[in-house]
Amino acid sequence: MAHPLVSRLADQILLADGAMGTMLYAAGIDLDASFDALNLERPQVVAGVHRAYLAAGADIIETNTFGANRARLEHFGLADRIRDINLRGVKIAREEREISGRPALVAGAIGPTGRTLAPFGTADPLAVRAIFQEQIEALLEGGVDLLTIETIGSLDEMVEAVTAAREASDLPIVALLTFAEDGRTLAGNTPEDAVIRLADLEVTAVGANCSVGPQRILPVLRAMGEALATRQGDRPALACMPNAGWPTHLGGRVIYRSAPDYFGDFARQAAMAGVRIVGGCCGTTPEHTRTMRAALDTLVKVSVGDPPADGEGSAPAAPNGTGGKAVRGVPDLRGVDLVPSEGPTEVAEKLGKKFLVSVEIDPPKGFNPAKALDGARLLKAAGVDAINVADSPMARVRMSAMTLCYLIQHQVGIETILHFTTRDRSLMGLQSELLGAHAVGVRNILALTGDPPSLGAYPDSSAVYDVDSIGLIRVLTQLNAGNDSAGASIGRMANFTIACAIDPTRTDLHEEARRLRAKLEAGANFVMTQPIYDLNVWTRFLDVYEQVHGDRELNVPVLLGVLPLQSSKHAEFLHNEVPGITLTDEARDRMRKAGPDGRREGVAMARALLEEARPHVQGVYIMPSFGRYEVAAEVIEVLRVDR
């Protein structure tokens, strides 16, 4: 499946954010300071900039890493902090994207090294490439969605940067050169030179940024467009992010003259010139972004379900014939049957009858569920049977998983499996929430104990744990029998489909086998495993289960956990730092050997495991990292022949 950037460029113009440095300067940061080091020193200031651009309607936000390469950080004595600065820069951007809930893409920002290559300078091309690669690897480790290589004044340096990126990853690349008033780069390259050379390197988009103001950059873009029109085969998209005019110094401050409204006009002109990624550079602010958002939205009719530009929830229209008004921010429930079906869930009906496919989505860290809903739509179109919704994974605060399940089921039209933990709820609270979930049709429940608060951002928060996952399954079974945990009638029998979890990679498999048997005896209807990377791990657990219980048959369907790997560093992080995930030595070695093809190797490994496991399990439970739902869709393509 195509990367989300590529897919979205096919049918819409994407709006990139504006200047990071301008906003940091406005916040009082000295121009002589390392803006990149603020990722470590004042992350809240950087986060505030991202937050403002997301609220203004940006589809792409760039990390605060423009100068975070060795050549530039050495000037500040920070060469030993390259990885930390870049990783934190990605983390800050991704956190703000998650909080906003917008389906924005996080671009790893890569600026020039400041070193001049021959014949005008003495810098060794391979040394420059190594500088870029060091930074790029850290950005990839952090989980960027794409790479933006920008403000490069030499086509030769751009080639080294793009080559470094291609040697490290297959992520999309947006390559932006900077042009002078004469329409050439500082090294004398023409727009046509740039298109011819960079298109052959398979960049996703090519264009110009920084440079001069909007009107002087448009001829450059038009020249690039004309050169692309003559090219055979795949053509990169056009992108531009100009400065807000020429800077002036006033009262000891740097001022850019181009007003936000002026950029709204520019966005329309750029779109008419064929540009598919529009944004701003030095001097632009969230106000410039907001006016460009409004301008672009007038050019393209926004489809139903697209998030509004301000990042807020919108009120659904009142149904025809109701004569009423919807309340802003509150789902309109008129016409929705809130009385749940008496019959089994769709998941229950499919279990054991077909190879069931479920994919996990995390709730947003803020109010807006747009990104999660878009992910659910993509997965539904790919043929997924159900969406798992995690319950504040890693003990970090997120939107209620139950709320997101409701929204997915009612707005996307696909069943969910709610991860429900006992960590945060008393026995009474557990039952109250389960009754509410049943009332709105959320009836597939994965019973979990939950990660302890000490793992998350609130280590002093009190866990409840009135019951563990086994006790929760008993509660659900009681509700299905028409009674609460105290034996009092709830008026009718519930109809929950109950899942339980199993970790076949644990050291103490005998204890895991004992607990699984207890979960099944308590009433679990199917099993979902933690991710594994070798089918022998599962069969070894079944051997232990047989030793403990005298029978290796679980007598319920099993969904095998699969977490596609992205890179060697991603694999090592999961293996060493994430509870419940243990990789085999072979999987780690394959990812080390994959190098820049890590994502493809991860998908290939997941597909191979899936094909091998199909005769032995009844479904798959895919957990894509970094919200890359298209990776899950790629993995399950192997099932399409038989589905």
Residues 140-167 pLDDT 10s: 999 999 999 999 999 999 999 999 999 9
pLDDT at 314 (0 to 100) = 35
If asked whether residues 275 and 360 sit together in one domain, one would say no
Give percent of the chain with pLDDT exceeding 90. 65
Q: Model confidence at 302, in pLDDT bands (50, 70, 90)?
A: very low
If asked whether residues 367 and 454 sit together in one domain, one would say yes
Question: H helices of 408-525, where?
Answer: 427-439, 469-480, 509-522
pLDDT at 316 (0 to 100) = 33
Query: Is 341 inside any structural domain?
Result: no
Q: Model confidence at 459, in pLDDT bands (50, 70, 90)?
A: very low
Rounded to whole angstroms, the Cα distance separating 363 from 392 reads 8
If asked whether residues 289 and 358 sit together in one domain, one would say no
Q: What is the pLDDT averaged over residues 68-89?
A: 96
Q: Model confidence at 318, in pLDDT bands (50, 70, 90)?
A: very low
For 174, phi then psi, to 5°, come to -105, 115
Give percent of the chain with pLDDT exceeding 70. 87
Annotated ligand binding at 210? The verdict is yes
Q: Which residue, 499, 525, 557, sits at the end of a domain?
A: 557
If asked whether residues 239 and 387 sit together in one domain, one would say no
What's the CATH code of the domain at 440?
A: 3.20.20.220
If asked whether residues 166 and 249 sit together in one domain, one would say yes
Residues 130-144 pLDDT 10s: 999 999 999 999 999
Query: Is 570 inside any structural domain?
Result: no
Residue 53 has pLDDT above 70, yes or no: yes
Count of Cβ atoms closer than 10 Å to residue 207 Cβ: 32
If asked whether residues 273 and 358 sit together in one domain, one would say no
If asked whether residues 122 and 244 sit together in one domain, one would say yes
Query: Is 102 inside any structural domain?
Result: yes
Q: What is the 3-state secondary structure (H, E, C) of 157-210?
A: HHHHHHHHHHHHCCCCEEEEECECCCCCECCCCCHHHHHHHHHCCCCCEEEEEE
Query: Is 216 inside any structural domain?
Result: yes
> Which residues constitute the domain of residue 291?
4-299
Query: Is 611 inside any structural domain?
Result: no
The average confidence (pLDDT) of the chain is: 86
If asked whether residues 466 and 552 sit together in one domain, one would say yes
Listed residue (456, 462, 459, 450) closest to 501, CA to CA: 450
Residues 329-373 pLDDT 10s: 334 443 444 334 468 999 999 999 999 999 999 998 888 899 999
Query: Is 599 inside any structural domain?
Result: no
Query: What is the number of domains present in the chain?
Result: 2
If asked whether residues 281 and 356 sit together in one domain, one would say no
Collect all residues with Cβ–Cβ distance below 8 Å to 460 and sequence separation of at least 6: 453
Q: Which residue, 269, 299, 329, sits at the end of a domain?
A: 299
What's the CATH code of the domain at 53?
A: 3.20.20.330
Residue 67 has pLDDT above 90, yes or no: yes
If asked whether residues 294 and 399 sit together in one domain, one would say no
For 489, phi then psi, to 5°, come to -70, 140
Query: Is 450 inside any structural domain?
Result: yes
If asked whether residues 279 and 409 sit together in one domain, one would say no
Q: What is the pLDDT averaged over residues 502-506?
A: 93
pLDDT at 299 (0 to 100) = 82
Q: Model confidence at 582, in pLDDT bands (50, 70, 90)?
A: confident
3-class secondary structure, 626: helix
Q: Which of 175-184, 304-313, 458-467 has the highest mean pLDDT?
A: 175-184
Query: Is 572 inside any structural domain?
Result: no
Q: Which residue, 541, 557, 573, sits at the end of a domain?
A: 557
